[in-house]
A and B are shown apart, each in its own frame.
Chain A
């Protein structure tokens, strides 16, 4: 068994958790032990807090979901500032954290009774359809909204001297995951002045929670663990003096030739010649009864909690989805000493690599294909789930229901590109199911319909880290060539990198991606 103290793993077969100094934070007035380097959400979870907020209208309990700042389920008031995503804020000694939208707090919310009573007479969403009188309906909706609340306005006042900086650069890379680091390395090594920004306090994107050895070829660092690949890329990147790295810096808009970003509390006005948008992806959720119950988490959220912060997510989990993320997560849970009750998959066969499935199957984890989750069981936290078999029209077969004992459920049903910046910048977008959703049209060199804006990695289409690195390389090199840098060397390398990618995608897993890319390839072909 893996040893756990205060909800935290103190040993792990692969990882070493170096916790910072012990601090005390206050949660609704109650002192809670935490370690520097932990997010507020992680520290609260370790101390046993499961309800992070209440839904606006019916005061249903909500736990965290994504743990990477994308879903808003973890918003609380922190040191007087409302609506702070606690999964993105690091603990500080003496920090005051309060839940919002609940009386007296989100954990024991008297209004929680609403959810139980009102649904019988006034089903969820019916305020939009039940009343024909428009004035009455709008009044009711506005009453409901004000009752629900969005937290209280902060008591802190603006001091009147905001920091501001203007930065000019050749290539701006938005996102420091594998695709972003690779784009920055490859643009930087040919002499471009590169600025790389990431909203996280560390580089690596999704790689920082991938404890397993990667696939691919040795040239693409196969056999090396994801966490190590992140370190290798970072080292390479930090060696290039003309690359400026700004962490905790979030881009919020692309306005023609100007990009707006916030670095901690400083406003940045960035004027780049080329932009590479490599913002990754966020997790999808799935519709089933009680899917908002605390204990229903995104697979990546659980990976973050467990592999980045070393916090045990629960004792026994159910995994929904058998793509590589679901399969790998199952194995990682076993490594952290957490039982995996089962993996359910709606398709008639496992979606990820067979070898990943075989790894957990031989350790006794059942995999149910053609099954889905029907509902989560529990009042304020998951205490089990019901799964059922599906017929060939995807309907649950009556009588096939099975109850699964578990105390958390991981939804691993795929990712969607974080495409907002591209959309806002005016890039032509298209819905391509093979690539995970709405993606930008792009040339084979990864330039979008807006000249000078490039994409790579998951935001261009959900794939995986090796191809994200290859695509980042293509975007980075093409950007420098377009700037007139790099000469023949760069042109040669660009051709080589296209060939590499083609070879990598030659198998059946790549087929789907290629088919998706064909649907969004831009006719405009910039030859080099």
Chain B
């Protein structure tokens, strides 16, 4: 439980990543929720039965092969702990994350990419947005970035013009 001393998790405390092959097929849900807490909306929202959780206090485990990338879970997660990851054909990577800050982001916006500790690790471009009013004020934002960054970028901030 070292992550509770830091406020962020290291890779060895997180679930294994989906294979590169799987990441190339279509977006897949990657969940960073290692602690047993009484929470289960992700599990209940999944139509593909891809999230395993025997009891409400179990941390969710995603079966990457079953996950269809439908994004039902990421819409409702109160912990902002779910990220949709994808590797594109053209050598770019994509992370979709929940976003609840002002200013709202739009397609085409340039954003700073932050890792789990809040350090800026690069610049990305927003290429799709589910606007906040369509999801009870939690916007979903898909950001395009270098492939290797999809394993560490967990927040974004609009670049000041």
Is the beta-carbon distance between B102 and A218 smaller than 8 angstroms? no
- Among residues of B, the one whose C-beta sits closest to the C-beta of A12 is B102
Is the beta-carbon distance between A217 and B41 smaller than 8 angstroms? yes
Known A350-B4, A362-B114; contact A225-B102, beta-carbon cutoff 8 A: no
Query: B70: CB under 8 A from chain A?
Result: no
Query: B18: CB under 8 A from chain A?
Result: no
Query: A504: CB under 8 A from chain B?
Result: yes
Contacts of B157 on A, CB cut-off 8 Å?
Answer: 363
Is the beta-carbon distance between B41 and A337 smaller than 8 angstroms? no
- Among residues of B, the one whose C-beta sits closest to the C-beta of A11 is B102
Query: A290: CB under 8 A from chain B?
Result: no
B38 contact from A11, A225, A510, Cβ within 8 A: A510
A503 contact from B56, B117, B155, Cβ within 8 A: B56
| Secondary structure of the B contact surface, majority rule | loop
Is the beta-carbon distance between B34 and A354 smaller than 8 angstroms? yes
Is the beta-carbon distance between A355 and B7 smaller than 8 angstroms? no
A356 contact from B76, B79, B114, Cβ within 8 A: B79
Query: B142: CB under 8 A from chain A?
Result: no
Query: B80: CB under 8 A from chain A?
Result: yes
A208-225 contact mask (Cβ, 8 Å, vs B): 1 or 0: 000011111110001111
Which of the listed residues B32, B56, B80, B155 has the most CB atoms from chain A within 10 Å of its own CB?
B56
A365-403 contact mask (Cβ, 8 Å, vs B): 1 or 0: 101010000000000000000000000000000000000
The count of chain A contact residues (Cβ–Cβ below 8 Å) is: 48
Is the beta-carbon distance between B57 and A506 smaller than 8 angstroms? yes
The count of chain B contact residues (Cβ–Cβ below 8 Å) is: 47
Known A13-B137, A350-B4, A363-B155; contact A358-B9, beta-carbon cutoff 8 A: yes
Query: B15: CB under 8 A from chain A?
Result: no
Query: B35: CB under 8 A from chain A?
Result: yes
Interface positions, chain B 26-43, Cβ under 8 Å from A, are 32-41
User: Nearest chain A CB to B14's CB is how many angstroms away?
Assistant: 11
Query: A169: CB under 8 A from chain B?
Result: no
User: Nearest chain A CB to B55's CB is how many angstroms away?
Assistant: 6
- Among residues of A, the one whose C-beta sits closest to the C-beta of B119 is A364
Query: B48: CB under 8 A from chain A?
Result: no
Within the assembled complex, what's the spacing in Å between the Cα atoms of A358 and B7? 5
Is the beta-carbon distance between B114 and A364 smaller than 8 angstroms? yes
Contacts of B9 on A, CB cut-off 8 Å?
Answer: 354, 358
Is the beta-carbon distance between A369 and B40 smaller than 8 angstroms? no
Is the beta-carbon distance between B81 and A358 smaller than 8 angstroms? yes
Contacts of A507 on B, CB cut-off 8 Å?
Answer: 36-38, 55-57
Interface positions, chain A 224-272, Cβ under 8 Å from B, are 224-225, 228
Contacts of A228 on B, CB cut-off 8 Å?
Answer: 136
Is the beta-carbon distance between B118 and A506 smaller than 8 angstroms? no
Query: A512: CB under 8 A from chain B?
Result: no
B78 contact from A215, A334, A354, A367, Cβ within 8 A: A215
Query: B44: CB under 8 A from chain A?
Result: yes
A508 contact from B57, B78, B114, Cβ within 8 A: B57
Contacts of B80 on A, CB cut-off 8 Å?
Answer: 355, 358-359
Contacts of B132 on A, CB cut-off 8 Å?
Answer: 13
Known A216-B39, A507-B38; contact A361-B44, beta-carbon cutoff 8 A: no
Within the assembled complex, what's the spacing in Å between the Cα atoms of A1 and B104? 10
User: Nearest chain A CB to B152's CB is how many angstroms away?
Assistant: 10
Contacts of B116 on A, CB cut-off 8 Å?
Answer: 358, 361-362
Known A216-B40, A222-B78, A364-B114; contact A354-B4, beta-carbon cutoff 8 A: yes
Contacts of B35 on A, CB cut-off 8 Å?
Answer: 353-355
- Among residues of B, the one whose C-beta sits closest to the C-beta of A353 is B37
Query: A423: CB under 8 A from chain B?
Result: no
A225 contact from B55, B103, B118, B136, Cβ within 8 A: B136
Interface positions, chain B 4-27, Cβ under 8 Å from A, are 4-9
Contacts of A361 on B, CB cut-off 8 Å?
Answer: 6-8, 116-118
Contacts of B118 on A, CB cut-off 8 Å?
Answer: 361-365
User: Nearest chain A CB to B12's CB is how many angstroms away?
Assistant: 15
Is the beta-carbon distance between B78 and A213 smaller than 8 angstroms? yes
User: Nearest chain B CB to A10's CB is how many angstroms away?
Assistant: 11
Is the beta-carbon distance between A349 and B4 smaller than 8 angstroms? yes
User: Nearest chain B CB to A513's CB is how many angstroms away?
Assistant: 11
Query: A28: CB under 8 A from chain B?
Result: no
Contacts of A104 on B, CB cut-off 8 Å?
Answer: none
Query: B96: CB under 8 A from chain A?
Result: no
Contacts of A12 on B, CB cut-off 8 Å?
Answer: 102
- Among residues of B, the one whose C-beta sits closest to the C-beta of A224 is B136
Contacts of A218 on B, CB cut-off 8 Å?
Answer: 40-41, 44-45
Known A349-B5, A358-B8; contact A213-B40, beta-carbon cutoff 8 A: no
Within the assembled complex, what's the spacing in Å between the Cα atoms of A240 and B30? 44
Query: A2: CB under 8 A from chain B?
Result: yes
Within the assembled complex, what's the spacing in Å between the Cα atoms of A358 and B32? 9
A369 contact from B5, B38, B55, B104, Cβ within 8 A: B5
Is the beta-carbon distance between B100 and A355 smaller than 8 angstroms? no
Contacts of A215 on B, CB cut-off 8 Å?
Answer: 37-39, 78-79
Contacts of B32 on A, CB cut-off 8 Å?
Answer: 355, 358
Within the assembled complex, what's the spacing in Å between the Cα atoms of A456 and B8? 35
Known A213-B78, A349-B5, A362-B155; contact A222-B40, beta-carbon cutoff 8 A: yes
Contacts of A503 on B, CB cut-off 8 Å?
Answer: 55-56
Within the assembled complex, what's the spacing in Å between the Cα atoms of A213 and B40? 12
Within the assembled complex, what's the spacing in Å between the Cα atoms of A183 and B3? 38
Interface positions, chain B 71-130, Cβ under 8 Å from A, are 76-81, 100-104, 114-119
Query: A288: CB under 8 A from chain B?
Result: no
A223 contact from B4, B8, B76, B104, Cβ within 8 A: B76
| 18 pairs, CB–CB < 8 Å, chain A vs chain B | A14-B100, A215-B38, A216-B38, A217-B38, A217-B41, A218-B41, A222-B40, A356-B79, A357-B7, A358-B154, A361-B7, A361-B116, A362-B8, A362-B116, A363-B114, A507-B38, A507-B55, A507-B57
Q: 16 extra interchain contacts, Cβ-Cβ under 8 A, other than A222-B76, A364-B118, A367-B7?
A: A216-B39, A217-B40, A218-B45, A223-B45, A223-B77, A228-B136, A353-B35, A354-B33, A354-B34, A354-B37, A355-B80, A361-B116, A363-B155, A369-B5, A505-B38, A509-B37
| 6 tightest A-B CB contacts, nearest first | A507-B57, A355-B79, A364-B118, A213-B78, A223-B76, A361-B7
